[in-house]
Structure formats: structure tokens, C-alpha cells
Structure 1
Amino acid sequence: MRWLLLLCLYAGMVQAQLLPSYGDSRTATTGWQFLKVVPDARSAGMGEAFLAVADDMGSVYWNAAGLSKLDTSRWHTMLAHTAYPASINQYYGALAWRLNSNTLFAGSLQYFDAGSMPVTTEFQPAGNGMTFHPVNMALGASWSQVLTDAFSFGVTLKYVREDIADVHNQNMLFDLGFRYDIGIARTRFAVALTNFGFNTTPDGSIPVLSITDTTVIVQAEDVGVPTIFRLGFAWDALASETHQLTAAAQLNHPTDNNETYSIGLEYGWKKLLFVRSGYQFATDLAAWPSFGFGVRVPRYFGTVQLDYGFQYMNRLGTVNRIGLQLSL
């Protein structure tokens, strides 16, 4: 009960600090937007209502407290790929190591690849024959700790970097999350604060051509971080050996956009085959419900899990995700 009270107090303080008044969305006021791109296929298939569900390697991104729900294997790993239109891709990898029954450590790498782009100028709007390759990367280290049978927390420290032409920006951010198993009707809730840190100033130069000479712009304003406060709830409606059904709901409040809501379902058959669906509300991106499926295969060396997630978004079109997890 003491941990539950602390969790509620934490959630209230975070809400007071991060949630602006309604009508003040602060859209496009932060950088590091690639950090919002969900990497794992399982959560995407559930409409990104995954915070309180997270119990696999996707927890590294969503809520490191969920790593405590991994099976007793010593090593766990995940590789994931997200394919956007226009040859834009995101690659994600994570590795977790169980120190003991209560403590796990993990490392992760998130890389967003927008491909090569032509360099354009005022006098050469179609390109001057040169190209540049933007780099968006996050390198993280996570710690998950079980405090009681019902309560666990997780912390992630991330080094993030963005390079665009001759300008780069880097920062240190952290995530903090809690998970609490209520113990009534197989329900649980989770709270997470992600991408929390200080503003930073980009370094580098931008040449601007004019008729008389070339001016190099070196001044830049501080770039804010896309901090997100999330609150999730999950309920295992079915939990037999043959049938499993989990329903989830989630509140998302970013500091640079409007509040959104997500709901999701996951049905499992004998803990081997899984079908998922979900929907995001109050957002202009999600056009259709999301869908996904998964296959989990126990092997003599551990467990292999393959997941696929499908989303169709306004202005972006079809987004496909695939993920592979392995426990040893």
C-alpha cells in the first residue's frame, strides 16, 4: 500500500508539472520527434495502448518496469524494423540481462533512417548535385527492479543525437516508469514519464548563398525535448491455459501536442498464437484501427517470438512493423 500511495503522489506531481491547460497544444515546439516513433510491432498492433501490458522486450521503450515480467531466462533480445513510405525506416535493437529474480539491466539502440536528401539552395531549388544524410539516434541503458510482488519500477538513461547536414544536436534524457498489479480481477496499471531532460542548443553552421557573398548562420535557438506523460490500465479478461484475452486503455499527454487516448486488445491461444487490434483517439494521424499478430515458439534453448503490426495513418499511409524476440 505504501508503494501505491507513492505512485499516486508521483503521478499527481508529474501531471501538475507537465499537463498544460486545455487549448494550449504547443504543437511543433520540440525537437527529437523520432523518439515518438514506436519501435515494436506488438504495441503497434494494439493501437499503442501498451504501457500497462508491457511484459516483453518492448518494455525497454515503453516502461522499463515491465522488464520485471520477463521469463526467468538469463538473456533476452529484440530486433525490430518499422517501414514508412518514401523509403523511411526505423531500426531498433535491445538486449536485457537478468542479474537475479528481482533485477534486470538492458541496453537499446534506436536509429531512424530518412535516407539521403538533395541539398537545395535559393538559386538551385531542385538541388545542387550534393546530398546529405540525416541521422537520428538514441542509445539507452535501463534498470528494472522488483520491490514487492505487486510493485516494480524502471529507469532508462538515453543519449540522443540528431545530425542534419552540418548541424548537430545531442542531449541526455531519462525515462521513469512504475507498474502496479492491483490484485483484483487480474488488473494492473502503470505510469511512465519518458524523454525528460533539458533543452539544448544545436551546433554547426548553415551556409546561405546570396548574390554578393555567402553568409554562414551559426546562431540557433534552444531545442525542447518531447516529454510524454502516460497512464495505462490493463485487464486480463481471460487467463486460462487455452485462451488469454487482455484489454488495455491508455492516456498519453505530450508536452508538445494535444492529449490522446488509446485502447487495445490482445487474444492469445495456448500462449502460442496472438491476434491484436487497437485504436487511437483524439489524433489526426490514426485513420484506421491497427491490427497485428504474433507467434511464440518455445525451443530447447529458449523462446522465439515473431510479431507483426499494421497501422494506416493519414498523410503517411501504411506503416508496417516486424519484430523478433529471443530468450536464452
Structure 2
Amino acid sequence: MNIGVDAAALGMSNAVVASSADVNSCYWNPAGLIHLEDNQIALMHANYFANIAKYDYAAYASPIDDRSAWGISLIRFGVDDILNTTELIDNEGKIDYNRVKLFSTADYGFTFSYAVKLPVPGFQYGVNAKIIRRVIGDFASSWGFGFDFGLQFEKNDWQFGLMLRDITTTYNIWNINEAAYKKIADAIPGQNQEMPESTEITLPKAQLGMAKKFIFHDDYSLLAAANMNMQFTQTHDLISTPIVSIDPAIGLEFGYTNLAFLRAGVGNFQQVTQLDNSEKIGFQPNIGLGFKYKGIAIDYALTALGNQSTALYSNVFSLKIDLSLFRN
């Protein structure tokens, strides 16, 4: 749930909390759903780690009236066809490849979003209710629940956004297959001697963003946006304290007649320890392209899961369709 969705946003290093205003607001900031003029759907696919892991996303959103909107989205991140070799050797100590089976491990996130325009001009808020499902073959599975809260404010062409993720702390309760666990409990002396914890928690996080769109000669536009991504624990982020750690992100989108877009961004600033124990600042640059015509938007991003010194970049494609196109 931390990777992000929509190639347009990923190309801007996810600095879209303030400017998100379409179906993808289900993920970035549910308050942005207020800007919907009609029903929209979105799809995205990406491969990570040399095509080992697959990341997929689908969303649908619709306005309810001129003051509210709703949406749903589904995310899956999984690795399929993993070899299960725990039974490779039979009871007589012989290797039997027929005993090797395949399994998948996957995380699912299902989100229901609702947004409302406040009586105060320029303000809108939204909430997410999330269901988290995690599966590791037949070995273990879990269910989790959590909530997000988003807020947006607009004034004098400036946009501001606040996204509070997992505000109640998201809990996942694991069900572990004890029979499968016992088969590997003594495989390596001193390891796997105790059952894993059955409760997993995701601590709250906050994202504070601002954005402004500049128009040049009616044909050209430039959207400039910035995020401050905050975790309430000490990490290796650029700004790190025992109370809060902050990782900034900056994104730009250059547009031509609202038809073609060129995007760039930089984020994931981290304090990286080198082999000689010296430290340097690592970061992740992203780029992207987009095309929009008659309610259909196709976007591409070259992005990664880590900073530029360690990450393997992946190609991300996404599609967004305004369903009013078919009614017209």
C-alpha cells in the first residue's frame, strides 16, 4: 500500500497529494474525488524485480451529487509460481522432484472511498476504509483493516493537501498453518524454533503537499508539486528524529494543449551508509509521459522501489477512462 498507483503520479515521484483530482484519488487523497465530473475507471500494471513480482491496480469512482463522490479500488502485489521444496526429500532420504509444488504469495488491498465538499469554500475531505488480505501459499494468511483521512484546500490557484494513512493503526491478524510450520521447524538448528507473531501492525503516516499550475499562452501548462512524506518513527529519511522522519518529493508536469504531457520527479531521499561506513544522500529520480484524448488517458512512467544507487527500474503503464465518452 506504500508503492503508489497511476503512472502519471509515479512519474512525478508521487508528489500529487494536493493536486490529485480523478479516480486515482481513491489512493492518493480521497478528498480529490470531489473534482469528478463523471464516472471514471483506472487500470495499471507493472513488473518489479526483473519481472518476478507483479503489481496490478484497478479503480472506479463516481460523483454522487455536486457535493460528494465515492470510489472503490483494488491493489494486488504478488509473486507467483514459487517452488515449494519443503517436501523435496521423502521419508527414505531420497530426492523426488515430483514432490515439488508451486505456490503464490500476494498482498491485496481493497479500499472504499467517500468524499464530501465542506461548507467552507475551497475545502473538501475524504475517508478510506481499507481491507488488507495477505496470503503466503498454504503456509499463512491474514486479514487486516484500517482507515485513511484526506483533506484538500484551494485558494488563488494554489492547492494544498493532507493525507493521513492508517490513522487508527492498521492491524493484520495472521493465521499460520501449524502443520506446515512443524515440517521446517527443525530444518536448520537454532532457527524457526518459535511460531511467528500472529499480529502485524502498520503505524500511521502523513503526507503534506502543495501544488500550483501555471498556464502559458493558453497552450502550455506547468504543474509544480511537492510532498513532505512523514513517518512517526526514526528512519533513514533525509530528516530523521526520534519523533518524526521526513522524506521530501518534488514533481513537475509539462503539458501541451491538455493532450501530451512530460513528467519528472525526484523523491525517496535517504541517508545511505557506504561500505566504508561513510554516509551519502541517496534519491530516486522518475520520469514519465502521458497522452490524453477525448476522455482516454494513457500514461507511462520509469520508476523503481528504491533510491538510484540500489533500485532496479521498472516500466509502469496505466489507463484512465472517463465513461462519459461512451454516453456521448
TM-score by length of 1: 0.78
Matched, 1:289 2:285: yes
Which residue identity is paired with 1:110? I
Structure 2 equivalent of residue 262 of structure 1: 249
Instruction: Give the whole-Å Cα distance in 2 for the aligned partners of 1:38 and 1:164.
Output: 22
Quick one: which of 79, 93, 109 aligns to 1:114?
79
Instruction: Give the whole-Å Cα distance in 1 for the aligned partners of 2:101 and 2:255.
Output: 51
Which residue identity is paired with 2:285? P
Structure 1 equivalent of residue 174 of structure 2: 202
Q: Please list the CA deviations of residues 10-45 of structure 1 after superposition, one character each: whole Å capped at 9, or x if unmatched.
A: xxxxxxxxxxxxxxxxxxxxxxxxx11112101110
Report matched runs for 1:168-207 at 5 Å.
168-183=141-156, 186-196=157-167, 197-205=169-177, 206-207=181-182
Structure 2 equivalent of residue 230 of structure 1: 207
Which residue identity is paired with 2:250? I
Q: Please list the CA deviations of residues 116-155 of structure 1 after superposition, one character each: whole Å capped at 9, or x if unmatched.
A: 222245997xx96123211210111110111244111111
3-state secondary structure, aligned to 1:61: helix
Matched, 1:323 2:318: yes
**Pairwise CA distance, 1:221:** 4.4
Quick one: which of 121, 135, 139 aligns to 1:163?
135
Report matched runs for 1:67-216 at 5 Å.
67-70=33-36, 72-73=37-38, 75-87=39-51, 88-121=53-86, 129-147=100-118, 148-165=120-137, 166-183=139-156, 186-196=157-167, 197-205=169-177, 206-209=181-184, 210=186
Gapped regions of structure 1 (runs ≥ 5): 1-34
3-state secondary structure, aligned to 1:55: coil
**Pairwise CA distance, 1:175:** 1.1
Quick one: which of 44, 60, 69 aligns to 2:26?
60
Which residue identity is paired with 1:190? G
Is the Cα contact below 8 Å between 1:279 and 1:286 reproduced in 2?
no
Instruction: Give the whole-Å Cα distance in 1 for the aligned partners of 2:257 and 2:23.
Output: 20
More relative contact order, 1 or 2 (CA 8 Å, 6+ apart): 1
Instruction: Give the whole-Å Cα distance in 2 for the aligned partners of 1:170 and 1:86.
Output: 29
TM-score by length of 2: 0.78
3-state secondary structure, aligned to 1:282: strand
Q: Rate the CA distance shift 1:173–1:317 in 2: closer, same or farther, 3 A.
A: same
Q: Rate the CA distance shift 1:164–1:200 in 2: closer, same or farther, 3 A.
A: same
Which residue identity is paired with 1:305? A
Structure 1 equivalent of residue 300 of structure 2: 308
Instruction: Give the whole-Å Cα distance in 1 for the aligned partners of 2:267 and 2:170.
Output: 29
Which residue identity is paired with 1:99? I
Instruction: Give the whole-Å Cα distance in 2 for the aligned partners of 1:219 and 1:44.
Output: 34
Gapped regions of structure 2 (runs ≥ 5): 90-96, 238-245, 273-280
Q: Rate the CA distance shift 1:316–1:122 in 2: closer, same or farther, 3 A.
A: farther
**Pairwise CA distance, 1:254:** 2.7
Instruction: Give the whole-Å Cα distance in 2 for the aligned partners of 1:160 and 1:281.
Output: 24
Larger radius of gyration: 2
Q: Please list the CA deviations of residues 247-306 of structure 1 after superposition, one character each: whole Å capped at 9, or x if unmatched.
A: 1111001346432110010111111111100001523697552111111101xxxx1111
Q: Rate the CA distance shift 1:180–1:123 in 2: closer, same or farther, 3 A.
A: same
Instruction: Give the whole-Å Cα distance in 1 for the aligned partners of 2:41 and 2:194.
Output: 44
Instruction: Give the whole-Å Cα distance in 1 for the aligned partners of 2:147 and 2:82.
Output: 31
Structure 1 equivalent of residue 275 of structure 2: none
Is the Cα contact below 8 Å between 2:266 and 2:283 reproduced in 1?
no
**Pairwise CA distance, 1:225:** 1.0
Structure 2 equivalent of residue 26 of structure 1: none
Q: Please list the CA deviations of residues 141-185 of structure 1 after superposition, one character each: whole Å capped at 9, or x if unmatched.
A: 1101112441111111111110113211111111100000132xx
Matched, 1:50 2:27: no
Is the Cα contact below 8 Å between 1:39 and 1:81 reproduced in 2?
no
**Pairwise CA distance, 1:208:** 3.5
3-state secondary structure, aligned to 1:107: strand
Instruction: Give the whole-Å Cα distance in 2 for the aligned partners of 1:226 and 1:139.
Output: 18
Instruction: Give the whole-Å Cα distance in 1 for the aligned partners of 2:102 and 2:88.
Output: 16
Runs of 4+ in 1 over 6 A off after TM superposition: none
Instruction: Give the whole-Å Cα distance in 1 for the aligned partners of 2:63 and 2:78.
Output: 31
Higher strand residue share: 2
